[in-house]
Structure formats: structure tokens, C-alpha cells
Structure 1
Amino acid sequence: MKNHWKDKKVAVLGWGINGLDIAEYLLKQGVHITIFDDKEVDELDFSEFDTKKVKLVLGSSYIKYGLNSFDYIFRAPGVYRYLPEIVKAEKKGVVVTSVVKLFFDLCPGTIIGVTGTKGKGTTSTLIYQILKNAGKDVYLAGNIGIPMLTLLPKLTSKSWVVLELSSFQLIDMTKSPHIAVILNITEDHMDWHIDRDEYVKAKTQIVRYQNKNDIAAMNYDYSDSKNFSKLTKAKTYFFSRKGKVNGSYVEDGNIKLDVGSKIYDIGKTKKLLLRGKHNWENVCAAICASYLAGAAIKSIKEVVFSFKGLEHRLELVGEIKGIKFYNDSFSTNPQTTIAAIKSFEEPLTLILGGSDKGLDYDGMGKEISKSKNVRNIILIGDISDVIENAIKKAGYTGKVLKLGKSDMQQIVKKCVNVTPKDGIALLSPATASFDMFANYKERGSKFKEAVVNLKLRKTPKVASKINPTG
């Protein structure tokens, strides 16, 4: 087979897992690579890559001199698709593409794509685990799991690949997956997209290129998600936590599946280990998609009722003085924080704040104000004043504590001081983390570390009964 990549000049925009994935793939094809990133070399992780094989253009003015001299531009998801420099190069004939677009071109197996504002990781992992339990040759990639291009040597025509897909990845797609799963669509990444319309339109690419042999499963409870059914030629199914649909749904506390002549009773919502009604949507989505992919009902039930969730998503960290600590650091917008609040009935201390994503917090303020169990709010990070104004405007009468950019140890200590016994301390920030942490994972990990350290200090030492000379 002819290698059409050989000796091509390729710009890789944005380093990280995505950049490493494409750089390693292209080097094997004999490509001349230049890596561009707005960070300096000491801010980037090149520990697993030999930079002598490529050219580096780094720093704040990294694309100042344009991209017109390249044959291809591979854009990382975090790099805005319509930067003037990218658009100008494209008009000059440079091909603008991405890892996910290349993967869709090269993947010999069947792709299940999952998108939405939140719940993508949970739903994708559930689908993956169900199909694995059903004996499928299945892989998990995209924003979660393994870098997708490294999967290619392992894949066959019988393989299944579950991809978690963000609006960043979908915005310029020209192919859609065989099974498209559309979760809740609200609002996010307004610091990246020019407006909400562009954000929603980017998501629609997941169904626009489907054909009559494909499948689309959509969240019936959100108008934007439901309306995707008008944009696809695929067979359409739905999922809902509010009522009966053609697909999977919750009815009177029971999870059901109806995609044909028989209605299957999957089980009761109260038996799920995942907390929160928002997770009923994710579970129903995974049930619908995995069944349509060929999983047996037995395989579905076994996974759904044993799945404990993902790290940094309403994750129970530990207990100190009767207070349970939950890490929901992945919650980077108001909608997911609202869902997290609704997952608890116990007295709640809520940790909010971080860096500004340009989101509206008035709706969250109203939800907090009318909630009967949010006793304390601890505000951290750059956006503290914005969130404080939103909750005060909504009439919140609980205690508000502003801790600025205190370390997590101080934040956790404050939670212990103000949260009543049998209460909940919940890190669900409602915004990004970049003012204080590298990312949401570091924020969540620091929170967990602080809880564990404080718990160890609070635990009384017990004299050893073992003979030291023994």
C-alpha cells in the first residue's frame, strides 16, 4: 500500500496525549513534523517522546508566523478550530484535520460515539464494560481510555470501539459513528466556543453523517438532545429518567428497556451504586446502546448494578467525625453541580469556585437558594465573587465562607469545622480548575489527599499488641 504521508510537512497544534498520539503515528510514516504549543518547553511533558525527531515552536506567539507552509495541520481538541491562522492556512490549501478524524478513516471496527455536556465518561465506561462482559472485542478511547491511534494495530472488523467525544473533537467531523449516543446538552465551554449555538451545532456532527443502517440514541428529557433525531437518517431510539420512550427509561423507580416487541425489566434504581438521578440518564443510555450493539440482558444487569462510577465523579473519598467527603471535581459547570446537590438529602457543605469559563451562575444560585440542605458554601479561586453574587442575588441565607486560593488541607479542615455530623462535604466546583491546579484531576486528587491526611491525624493511635522482639 502506498504511503501518502511520506515526506509531508505536518503541523501538530497542541501537545499532550493527543499530540503524542499523532506524532508517534506520523513519525512511522516518514513525516516531517513541527509541534506548536503556546506553552514553553518546561511546561510540557516530553518525557515519553524524543524531541530531536521534530521541530518545536513554543511560547505565547507560537503561530505568529502562520501555518501556510504545511501540507496538513493536526489540531488538538483544545485548540480552537477557527483560529484566524488555521482558517488562513486552510484557504491556502492546507488540510486541517485531527486524531479523531484520522481514526474514523482508519478504524476497521465499529464505532460507538458518546457525546453530551456531562456524563460522557460514565456512560462510555458503562457501555464498554457491558460489551466486555458480553464477550465483545471492545476498546475505550477518546477523552477517556487509551489514545485512539495506538489501538489501530489491535483492531479487526469484529472489534468495537467506544469513543467519548467532546464538542472540540466533533466540531469539524465529516463522519459519524455507527451508534451515536447523545446525553444531556445544556451549556459548557463558553470560553472556547463563540456562543451556545456553535457549541450545540458542534455536537450535532455526531449524527449528521449517519445512514439508514446506523443507530442514534438520544436523551428525551432535553430538547436539544431530542431534536438531534431530526438531523439523522439512522434508526432512532431514546432514553429518559422521566417516562416511557422507545428505548430505555425509568418508570416508578424501575429501569426498563423497550426497543421491540418485548419490554425488559432491568431492575430498580435504588439498587444502583451510582448516586443521583442524573446518573439514571447515563445508565439508561448505556443500557440502550449496549443492547443495540448486541449485549445480552444478563450482561447488562451484571454491570449496571455493580458499577461504582469513575474517579472525580461523585466519588466517596472517606469519612471524618461522621462527615462523608465526596469528590466531584469533574463537575466544571453549574448544571453538573446542580445535579450533584440533588444527589444528597443530608446537610451539605458545598465547595465551589475556580477559574472563569464565561458561564452563567444565576440558575445554580436559584437552585442552591431553594435547596433545603445546603447549609454552608465554601468559595475558592478566581470566580468566587461571581458565584457569591449569583447565590446572594437568589436569596441564599446559609453561611458563605471565602477561602480564596487556600490549599486543600485548609479547605478540608474548614469543612470539618462547619459541617454537622452525618452531613456531607462536597467538592463540586461548577467551573474549571486552572487558576489553582493543572486540571480537574489534580484538584480532585489534592482534595482526596487532604481528606486522607486529615483522617489519619484524627484517628487515635492504638498501642501495638505485637511483641517488638517477636
Structure 2
Amino acid sequence: MGRAEGYRSFLDHSNNPCPYSHEYFEVKMKNYLELKGKNIVVVGLGVSGYWAARWLASIGVRVTVSEAKHDRELDPAVLEPLLHMGVKVETGGHRKDTFERADAVVISPGVPHEMDVLDKARKKGVWVTGELELASRFIQAPIVAVTGTNGKSTVTSMIGQALKMGGLNTYVGGNIGTPLSALLAQGLNPDVVVAEVSSFQLDTIESFCPKVALVLNITRDHLDRYKGFGGYVESKLRIFQNQEEEDCAIICDDDPILSALELPRTRRLLRYGITKKRDRDAYVHQDSILVRNGKFHKFSTKHYRLPGIHNMQNLLAVGLTCTFLGVDPEIFQSAIRHFKPLPHRMEWVGETNGISFYNDSKATNVDAVVRAIEGFERPIILIAGGRHKGASYEPLAKVAKQHIKVAILIGEAAELIEEALGRVVPCYRVESMDKAVMEAYRKADPGDIVLLSPACSSFDMFLDYKDRGEKFKEAVRRITNGQE
């Protein structure tokens, strides 16, 4: 059994049943009648909470939404449909009696599992679960679930695109933006569901069992939420715990933790990596990838537009998934030509005076930034910083020597990043995204790249990573349009 320091073996973990099951909710639910008339509390009114509340109310559940924000902070366009459906909305904090009277509590991914009201509800015998776990029990279509520290959204969208091109009615959702409860609320009946799944969602699963489960990589992230790296690793590996013989697990063999992983021989295990090695089912060969499904299929990558080694690894994962699910090789080859970066992920924004600007705002951890930097051969002016997430910036300093000319730092973590990078490259701190982009442009020469790749969360200065990326693009456009 492969092991990594600080976490138990996956087998040890998977044999531990969830302690929070409730008598009303058996592991395999067959119809909505088991929920009708129950009193369920939905915690949080973000996108997951909103759709969970809508779906539950539509099938006759007595729904109460518990939201920490006050009424004035909430969008009326979110509140009004729920109120119209008879959902009770409690704002301004979480009421103990509301939780303890519930038959079940459904939490959103961003809600801390250790909140006092949740602990007290559990002690009263109330089942506390996540939106992903509950919704998945009512979805009849096979689920392809994608997790990992980096690349989840890219791989999820690429798989969804390829399956659609293959003629399958495909629902793409989960942590990528549209939760699985939205599928149920809208009465959709897809052939297959492709879901991005976060560690926070996996923390609350019990019976969630994807037909295909992918783990792309595991590096240090969210250490501000987990007690240690071992807890984070353990969370990611929960994606495999309920798979059976007819299911498929796909892992990146280039990742040191995943390469050491051994799974029970109760499902098919496929491994991929950049170079050819024994037991690898997909790898890169010159300007092609080779993907095995009984025999090896060769796919040209000449027209693949996503840069960097990490995106070649992503393509291998997508290729294994699609061949396992029976996508015609010619269709997958065509799909490769159509794949393109998602917004805020290595997104080309513009060029002026020979200087190119890239928006990688979704790179909210150090490993993602290292991967982005290594994807370019030209000198980089890096814009980084934001809210610190607990990981060391030393890996960033190691690649900075070869790739980064100057670092422009913003946000709460600027000083910490400078402590790591300042020994190897010039660092400058600024107070806003506008100033960061302008300073980066001034420091750049023709042929250089200005890259926003923060290595931090965005919440110190922006609404989210999307807002941060849009502010970057607006600042770039002012330069490329000659307004600065």
C-alpha cells in the first residue's frame, strides 16, 4: 500500500463509515417520497444553497434557509423565487433551535463543517450532509467526477465538450458553477453528468459513487481550512471510496502521492503521465498522445491550444475518460482541436509593443502558479498576491530564478511572498490591480509576458477570482487601447 506522510492509507480511510447517518435517509434513495414533508435546513444562500433550496421545495420538502448575512446584503433576485415557493429564509445568523428541530441539514461547500450549530444538531441525531451527496442520490445518469488541486474546471469542461460532440446529452456542473441540485430542480434527464468536485464537497459524502473518478494532482492547498496536509489528501481520496467493480478510477502517475496509491481491485484503475512507463495507460509521444482502451489509440496534439505540461497531463486524463466511455476516436481527435482555455485560466488578454498579457486569476495556490510559469518559455513579469492560504511560497522561489524577471505583489500576502521571492528576483509592492498592471508594463520589454497568477485567494481585495481577473483585464485593455 502506497502511503504519504501525514495521512492514513486510503483503504483505512474508506472503511470508516460516516458517523452522521440518519434514520430517515437510507444510503440509496429511490424516490422523492422519502423527502416529502421533511423539515430540512439549507445552510448558506450561495449558488449551491439556492439550487438545493429550490429543488427541495419543489418536491414538497419544508425548507428553511439559514444565512449568516442580513437581508440587505442579499440579492432580491435570489430571495424572491425562494419566498414564492414557500421557503423560509432566516438571515443575520444561524439559530440553534432551527437546526435541532430539523430532520436533516444540507450545507454548501464553503460552510465550515465544525460550526457550533452543526455539532449540536449532530448530537441531537440530525443528519448533516452536503449538497453534492444529497443530490447525487437522486441522479440516475452515470457521473464522471473530477477532483484535484489544480485543473479541475479545465478537465471537467473538456470532458463535457467531448462527450457532447460524441452525441451524448451531457450535464456539466458541480463546483464548476452549476450544482447538481440545479439539474434536479430543472427536471433534466441527461445521459451522463460531468461534475467538478472539491475537497470540501468530498468531506461530506457517504454514498456518492461516480462511474468514473479522476484525481488530477494533490499539492498543498487549503491549509487554512484543514488541520494539515494529510487531512487535505484524505479528503481528495474519498472520491474513490464507494466505487465498485464496473467503475473506473483515473489518476496522474506523475504526481508523487498518486503514483504511490494502490486501490482495491474492485474497480478499473487507469494511470497516465507525460512519459511512457510500465502500467501507464496514456502518455505523450512526440506530437501525439497515446491512450489505451484494450489497444493504444494515437491522437495528434498539433492543434491543441492549451499551453504547458500541466495541460498536456489534463488532455491525457480527458482522453482516458472519453475512451473508457466509448467516444469514437475520430470524434475525440476533432474535440482536441476545439479545446480552449477557460476564462481566468492561462487566458490570453492582449498584446501591445510586443508584450503579452495573460490572466491566470484562478491560480489560487502555489502549485498552480508554478505550473503556469513553467508553461512559458519567455521572460515573465509576475503579478501575485492576495489572501494567504497557509502554504509555503518557496516552490515559487525555485522557479523564479529561471523564469521571472520581476514580481509585482498585491494584497495581504505581499510581504510573505516577498520574503520568499525577494532573494532571487526584484519585488515591488503596490496597492491596486491598476497599479500592478501599469508597473508590470513599465518593467516589461518587448517579448516579455505579464502574467497575473496570484498563488492566493482573492477575498482581501475582490469579490472572487473572477472579479480579480476581470479587473486585471480592464487594466490591460486601458493600456492596449492607449488610455494609459
Q: TM-score, normalised by structure 1?
A: 0.90
> Structure 1: which 4+ aligned runs deviate by more than 6 Å?
none
Q: CA deviation at 1:115?
A: 0.5
Secondary structure of 2:99's counterpart equals coil
- C-alpha distance in structure 1 between counterparts of 2:48 and 2:286, whole Å: 43
Aligned match of 1:15: 45
Aligned match of 1:38: 68
Corresponding residue to 2:215 among 182, 191, 207:
182
Aligned match of 1:384: 414
- C-alpha distance in structure 2 between counterparts of 1:341 and 1:136, whole Å: 36
- C-alpha distance in structure 2 between counterparts of 1:2 and 1:388, whole Å: 55
Structure 1, residues 374-410: CA drift from partner, whole Å, max 9, x if none?
1110000001011111123xx30x321100x32x222
Q: CA deviation at 1:67?
A: 2.4
Q: CA deviation at 1:173?
A: 1.1
- C-alpha distance in structure 2 between counterparts of 1:275 and 1:458, whole Å: 30
- C-alpha distance in structure 2 between counterparts of 1:363 and 1:391, whole Å: 10
Structure 1, residues 206-234: CA drift from partner, whole Å, max 9, x if none?
11110111111111111322344425621
Query: Any conservation in 1 of the 2:160–2:170 contact (CA below 8 Å)?
Result: yes
Corresponding residue to 2:312 among 268, 280, 284:
280
Query: Any conservation in 2 of the 1:327–1:427 contact (CA below 8 Å)?
Result: yes
Corresponding residue to 2:134 among 102, 107, 111:
102
Structure 1, residues 78-114: CA drift from partner, whole Å, max 9, x if none?
1122334323311211111222112221111111000
Query: Any conservation in 2 of the 1:216–1:229 contact (CA below 8 Å)?
Result: no
Where do 5+ consecutive residues of structure 2 fail to align? Answer: 1-30
Secondary structure of 1:352's counterpart equals strand
- C-alpha distance in structure 2 between counterparts of 1:82 and 1:409, whole Å: 38
Aligned match of 1:463: none
Aligned match of 2:468: 443
CA 1:145–1:85 in structure 2 vs 1: closer, same or farther (change >3 Å)?
closer
Map 1:327-342 to 2 at 5 A. Answer: 327-342=359-374
Structure 1, residues 20-63: CA drift from partner, whole Å, max 9, x if none?
1011111123333222233333333341332543333334x535
Structure 1, residues 394-444: CA drift from partner, whole Å, max 9, x if none?
x30x321100x32x2222211211111111000000010000000000000
- C-alpha distance in structure 1 between counterparts of 2:47 and 2:34, whole Å: 24
Range with greater deviation from structure 2 (227-236 or 158-167): 227-236
Aligned match of 2:78: 48
Q: CA deviation at 1:65?
A: 6.2
CA RMSD of aligned residues (A): 2.0
Structure 1, residues 174-225: CA drift from partner, whole Å, max 9, x if none?
2220111110111211122222111111111211110111111111111322
Q: TM-score, normalised by structure 2?
A: 0.88
Corresponding residue to 2:452 among 427, 432, 440:
427
- C-alpha distance in structure 2 between counterparts of 1:190 and 1:100, whole Å: 22
- C-alpha distance in structure 1 between counterparts of 2:32 and 2:450, whole Å: 59
2:171 is the counterpart of 1:144: no
Structure 1, residues 272-297: CA drift from partner, whole Å, max 9, x if none?
20011111111100000011011011
Aligned match of 2:429: 402
2:291 is the counterpart of 1:257: yes
Amino acid at match of 1:33: V
Identical pairs, percent: 35
How many residues are paired up? 448
Query: Any conservation in 1 of the 2:48–2:181 contact (CA below 8 Å)?
Result: no
Aligned match of 1:203: 236
Corresponding residue to 2:198 among 166, 183, 188:
166
Amino acid at match of 1:251: H
Query: Any conservation in 2 of the 1:211–1:232 contact (CA below 8 Å)?
Result: no
Q: Greater RCO between the two (CA within 8 Å, min separation 6)?
A: 2
Amino acid at match of 1:457: G
Aligned match of 2:479: 454
Amino acid at match of 1:257: V
Corresponding residue to 1:353 among 385, 409, 416:
385
Query: Any conservation in 2 of the 1:209–1:232 contact (CA below 8 Å)?
Result: no
CA 1:2–1:363 in structure 2 vs 1: closer, same or farther (change >3 Å)?
closer
Aligned match of 1:225: 258
- C-alpha distance in structure 2 between counterparts of 1:138 and 1:227, whole Å: 33
Query: Any conservation in 2 of the 1:207–1:228 contact (CA below 8 Å)?
Result: no
Where do 5+ consecutive residues of structure 1 fail to align? Answer: 460-470
Aligned match of 1:323: 355
Secondary structure of 1:359's counterpart equals coil
Query: Any conservation in 1 of the 2:346–2:358 contact (CA below 8 Å)?
Result: yes
